[in-house]
Amino acid sequence: MATEPVGVTVAEVELVAPGMALRRPGLVTIVWRFCRKKPLGAAGGLLMLLIVVAAIFAGVLATHDPIATNATSTLARPSSQFWLGTDHLGRDIYSRILHGARVSLIIGLGSTLLGSVLGGIIGLLSGYLGGKTDLISQRVMDIFQGLPLLVLALVMAAALGPSVPNVIIAISIPIIPRAARVIRSSVLTIREMQYVEAARGLGVSHLRIAFRHILPNTMGPFIVLCTAQLGSAILVEAALSFLGLGVPEPYPSWGRMLSVSAAEYAQKAPHLVLFPGFAISLAVFGSNLLGDALRDTLDPRLRGA
Partner 1 sequence: MRSSRRSPPKEAATRTYVARRLAIAALTLLGMSVIIFVLLRLAPGNMVDILFSTGGYVSESDKQSIMKELGIDRPVWIQYVDWLREILTGNLGKSYRYDLPAWEIIKPLLPVTIELAILSTIIAVLLGVPTGVISAVRQDTTLDYALRVFSLAGLSMPSFWLGMVIILVLVGWLGWIPPMTYVSPTENLKIHLVQFLLPALAVGYRSSALITRITRSALLEVMREDYIRTAWAKGQSGWIVIWRHALKNAMLPVITVIGIEFAFLIGGLVVTETVFNLPGVARFLVEAVLWRDYPVVQNLVMFIAIVVILSNLFVDMLYGWLDPRVRYGD
DSSP assignment of 112-160 equals HHHHHHHHHHHHHHHHHH-HHHHHHHHHHHHHHHTS-HHHHHHHHHHHH
The residue count for binding partner 1 (CB under 8 A) is 45
Q: Which helix or strand (DSSP H or E) is residue 235 part of?
A: helix 219-242
Of residues 104 and 116, the one with the C-beta less far from partner 1: 104
Q: Least separation, in Å, of the C-beta of 15 and partner 1?
A: 40
CA dist 222 and 160 (Å) reads 28
Of residues 135 and 219, the one with the C-beta less far from partner 1: 135
State yes or no: residue 289 binds partner 1 (CB under 8 A).
yes
Choices 29-37, 143-151, 178-186, 202-210; region in contact with partner 1 by CB under 8 A: 143-151
Picking from 150, 163, 175, the residue whose alpha carbon sits closest to that of residue 240 is 150
Of residues 18 and 146, the one with the C-beta less far from partner 1: 146
State yes or no: residue 244 binds partner 1 (CB under 8 A).
yes
State yes or no: residue 265 binds partner 1 (CB under 8 A).
no
78 preceded by a cis bond (ω within 30 of 0): no
State yes or no: residue 36 binds partner 1 (CB under 8 A).
no
Contact pattern from residue 52 through residue 71 relative to partner 1, giving x for each residue in contact according to CB under 8 A and a dash for the rest:
--------------------
State yes or no: residue 136 binds partner 1 (CB under 8 A).
no
Picking from 22, 5, 55, 48, the residue whose alpha carbon sits closest to that of residue 291 is 48
Residue 170 sits at φ, ψ, to 5 deg, of -60, -40
Q: Least separation, in Å, of the C-beta of 23 and partner 1?
A: 31
CA dist 207 and 219 (Å) reads 17
Query: Site residues (CB under 8 A) for partner 1?
Result: 40, 139-140, 142-144, 146-151, 154-156, 158-161, 231, 235, 238-239, 242-245, 255, 258, 263, 266-267, 270, 273-274, 277, 280-282, 284-285, 288-289, 292, 305
